[in-house]
């Protein structure tokens, strides 16, 4: 049976430029479908775990009807990057041969600025709920990770979510946590309807849907050092984390309301 969350595959044909300074150095790149993408590298900072977070966070946002650029699996061949003059970028490209992740580039989009654009309370509540659910630490006033494109709000950059997987211990405790860092969320002041959203979203995120999302994590991203767990074993932990967190959403909904008060 076809998994509706399966991504398209593209081959990267041209590295255009790095998009910002920093540890992960995402890049603007072109693929063999003639579209431009924001390319996230498995050879960067947190490796494939950041790509898994980006994938799962993005897929859940998509399932909930929120707007985000199309995600694709992006392949880098062995020859890619050999002519790159910058040694750091060349090392990144060489260390990222094989399967990476990319988001469709929204040409002309501008960074969301909360002082310029006001978001309605329903949409704000949906985004705050999402980020509390996936434990996304990176949608703050300092780094909103949202774009305005064609007068609509688009979500980007979920690579910092699901941070429990960096220690890979006590996932059940992490799943039930209230997520106190929600206090720093850029849309928290407008998130007045999280209880209504909680009811709506819990009905949407079925067990089968979460399993389908987790099933899209490629085996190539699950060969972790320091663990003997199989790819299926690791996927099962991600599923159990999400399923348990959803069942205990009252914990983070209460925290959202506490942070707002």
- pLDDT per residue as tens digits for the range 87-124: 878 888 888 899 999 999 999 999 999 999 999 999 99
In a domain, 44, yes or no: yes
Give CA–CA dist 142/28, Å, rounded.
22
Closest to 72 in 3D by CA, of 21, 107, 29, 109: 29
Q: Are residues 166 and 242 in the same domain?
A: yes
Residue 98 host element (H or E): strand 98-104
87 and 151 together in one domain? no
pLDDT band at 245 (very low <50, low <70, confident <90, very high): very high
Does residue 1 fall inside a structural domain? no
User: Are residues 53 and 116 located together in one domain of the fold?
Assistant: no
For the stretch 13-71, pLDDT in tens is: 998 988 865 556 799 999 999 999 999 999 888 889 999 999 999 999 999 999 999 99
Q: Does the pLDDT of residue 85 top 80, yes or no?
A: no
Where among 50, 69, 104 does a domain terminate? 104
Residues 76 and 166 in one domain: no
Alpha carbon of 21 to those of 10, 17, 90, 129, 130: distances in Å?
25, 11, 15, 30, 27
Same domain, 186 and 82: no
pLDDT tens column, 132-152: 999 999 999 999 999 999 999
Query: Is the domain of 149 the same as that of 231?
Result: yes
Say which residues have a Cβ less than 8 Å from residue 92's Cβ, sequence separation at least 6.
Answer: 25, 41, 43, 44, 81
69 and 184 together in one domain: no
Residue 154: beta bridge partners?
147
Distance, in Å, from the CA atom of 176 to the CA atom of 174, rounded to the nearest integer, reads 5
CA distances from 169 to 3, 92, 231, 242 (A): 29, 29, 17, 15
pTM of the predicted structure, to 2 decimals: 0.94
Among 58, 86, 104, give the residue marking a domain's end: 104
- 3, part of any domain: no
79 and 124 part of one domain? no
100, 128: one domain: no
Of 54, 69, 104, which residue constitutes the final position of a domain? 104
140 is in which domain, residue-wise? 112-260
Q: Which residues pair with 99 in a beta bridge?
A: 75
Give the largest Cα separation in the chain, rounded. Answer: 55
Does residue 170 belong to any structural domain of this protein?
yes
CA distance 17 to 105: 13
**Tokens 């897929």 appear where?**
59
Any domain includes 181: yes
- Structural domain tally of the chain? 2
Closest CA to 27 of 96, 108, 77: 96
- Residue 209 located in a structural domain: yes
Q: Is the pLDDT of residue 1 over 70?
A: no
Whether 117 and 245 map to the same domain: the answer is yes
- Same domain for 41 and 147: no
Query: Is 151 strand, coil or helix?
Result: coil
Check whether residue 183 and residue 256 sit in a common domain.
Answer: yes
- In this predicted structure, the answer to whether residue 82 has a pLDDT above a threshold of 70 is no
Cα 100 to its chain centre, rounded Å, is 13
Q: Write the pLDDT tens digit of every residue in 152-191.
A: 999 999 999 999 998 888 899 999 999 999 999 999 999 9
């Amino acid at each position: 049976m076809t998994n509706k969350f399966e991504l398209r595959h593209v081959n990267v044909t041209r590295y255009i430029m790095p998009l910002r300074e920093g540890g992960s150095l995402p890049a603007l790149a072109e693929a063999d479908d003639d579209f431009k993408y924001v390319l996230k590298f498995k050879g960067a900072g947190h490796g494939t775990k950041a790509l898994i977070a980006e994938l799962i966070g993005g897929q859940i946002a998509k399932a909930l009807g929120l707007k985000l650029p199309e995600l694709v699996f992006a392949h880098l061949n062995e020859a890619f990057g050999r002519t790159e003059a910058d040694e750091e970028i060349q090392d990144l490209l060489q260390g990222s041969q094989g399967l990476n992740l990319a988001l469709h580039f929204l040409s002309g989009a501008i960074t969301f600025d909360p002082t310029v654009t006001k978001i309605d309370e329903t949409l704000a509540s949906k985004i705050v709920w999402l980020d509390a659910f996936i434990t996304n630490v990176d949608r703050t006033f300092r780094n909103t990770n949202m774009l305005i494109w064609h007068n609509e709000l688009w979500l980007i950059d979920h690579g910092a979510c699901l941070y429990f997987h960096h220690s890979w211990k006590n996932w059940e405790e992490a799943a039930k946590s209230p997520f106190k860092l929600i206090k720093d969320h850029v849309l928290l002041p407008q998130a007045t309807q999280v209880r209504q959203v909680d009811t709506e979203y819990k009905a949407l995120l079925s067990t089968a849907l979460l399993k389908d999302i987790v099933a899209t994590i490629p085996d190539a991203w699950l060969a972790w050092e320091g663990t003997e767990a199989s790819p299926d074993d690791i996927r099962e932990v991600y599923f159990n984390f999400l399923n348990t967190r959803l069942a205990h959403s009252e914990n983070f909904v209460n925290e959202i309301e506490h942070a707002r008060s």
